[in-house]
């Protein structure tokens, strides 16, 4: 059963928020959904958010619906982790960068995270069925994008599932999580100390290991407070150059890590995906 938490007219279509009891995470899981007014099956763009975010963050702050409406795209904004909503019993950690709000878009293998923190399987194996119950989704046409931790999620899932996602883009993604504090902390907790297991969840390592997609679109603010310590776009640039992947990495002077930056350039990202989903 899918619960509708809210539903409102928006740009000729509808923006809604939902919860369902996930068989994969074992908890209630929430997501936002924008369905444009167009008739007939519509392509789907998955929008993955970053640390501390919920299903509402990208939906409320990115300003994507206006352009999704223009192009006839369905937008899905999943929550970033299992949570202790009514009926939920997910592990947590006091810090903002581990546990609730910080699922890192992967399936954890370590205690206490493994039973619930299965964000990749939830997104890939369960959410498409859930979506079909709510919207005229054309699952033959899916793309994925994300911000920060969600940019990491979009890049790694697109690299591992190139036939599922026609295109991928990111705002300020964590490009090489195995090599930065956010990723080291999260991967250590979710995947354990054996760094060999981390490579399957690191965009740069996946490319170095042979995964290929045609192209990647990234916007990165040059006033981003996390640029040097956590994001490392130059690693992605080097990995793509060696692999022959077309990376359009646009360095944006004066922009920081937040949604004021995202809303400024969202129109381009939506158009990029729409063209590849046509």
Residues of the shown chain interacting with a copy of itself in the complex, contacts defined by CB under 8 A = 8-12, 15, 60-61, 63, 65-66, 221, 223, 252, 254-256, 258-261, 263-264
Q: How far apart are the first and last CA of the chain?
A: 31
Rounded Cα–Cα distance for residues 55 and 197 (Å): 28
DSSP secondary structure of 243-278: HT-EEEEEEETT--SSHHHHHHHHHHHHHHHHHHH-
Q: Which of 20, 81, 224, 269 is catalytic?
A: 224
Shortest distance, position 263 Cβ to a copy of itself, whole Å: 7
Give residue for tokens 């995947």.
191
Answer yes or no: 257 catalytic: yes
Residue number with CB closer to a copy of itself (10 or 91): 10
Answer yes or no: 219 catalytic: no
Rounded Cα–Cα distance for residues 197 and 131 (Å): 31
Structure tokens at 207: 């490319």
Shortest distance, position 39 Cβ to a copy of itself, whole Å: 16
Q: Which of 147, 201, 257, 273 is catalytic?
A: 257
Residue number with CB closer to a copy of itself (62 or 217): 62
Residue number with CB closer to a copy of itself (104 or 255): 255
Answer yes or no: 148 catalytic: yes
Cβ-Cβ contacts under 8 Å for 252 (sequence gap 6 or more):
219, 220, 221, 222, 261, 264, 265
Q: Which of 16, 143, 148, 178 is catalytic?
A: 148
Residue number with CB closer to a copy of itself (9 or 244): 9
The closest alpha carbon to 83, from 150, 2, 25, 3, belongs to: 25
**Mind telling me the catalytic residues?**
148, 224, 257
């Amino acid at each position: 059963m899918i619960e509708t938490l809210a539903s409102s007219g928006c740009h000729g279509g509808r923006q809604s928020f939902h919860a369902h009891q996930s068989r994969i995470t074992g908890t209630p899981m929430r997501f936002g959904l924008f369905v444009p007014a167009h008739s007939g099956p519509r392509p789907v763009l998955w929008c993955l958010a970053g640390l501390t975010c919920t299903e509402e963050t990208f939906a409320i702050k990115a300003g994507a619906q206006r352009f999704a409406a223009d192009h006839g795209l369905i937008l899905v904004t999943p929550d970033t982790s299992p949570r202790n909503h009514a009926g939920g019993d997910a592990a947590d950690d006091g810090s903002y960068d581990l546990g609730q709000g910080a699922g890192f878009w992967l399936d954890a293998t370590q205690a206490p995270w493994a039973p619930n923190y299965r964000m990749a399987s939830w997104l890939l194996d369960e959410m498409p069925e859930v979506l079909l119950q709510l919207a005229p989704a054309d699952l033959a046409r899916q793309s994925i994008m994300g911000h920060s931790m969600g940019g990491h999620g979009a890049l790694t899932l697109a690299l591992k599932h190139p036939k599922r996602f026609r295109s991928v883009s990111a705002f300020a993604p964590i490009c090489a999580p195995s090599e930065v504090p956010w990723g080291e902390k999260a991967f250590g907790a979710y995947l354990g100390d054996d760094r060999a297991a981390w490579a399957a969840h690191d965009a740069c390592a996946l490319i170095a290991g042979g995964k290929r997609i045609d192209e990647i679109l990234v916007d990165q603010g040059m006033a981003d407070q996390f640029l040097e310590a956590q994001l490392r776009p130059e690693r992605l640039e080097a990995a793509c150059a060696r692999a022959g992947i077309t990376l359009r990495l646009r360095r944006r002077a004066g922009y920081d890590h937040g949604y004021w930056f995202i809303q400024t350039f969202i129109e381009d990202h939506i158009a990029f995906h729409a063209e590849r989903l046509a």
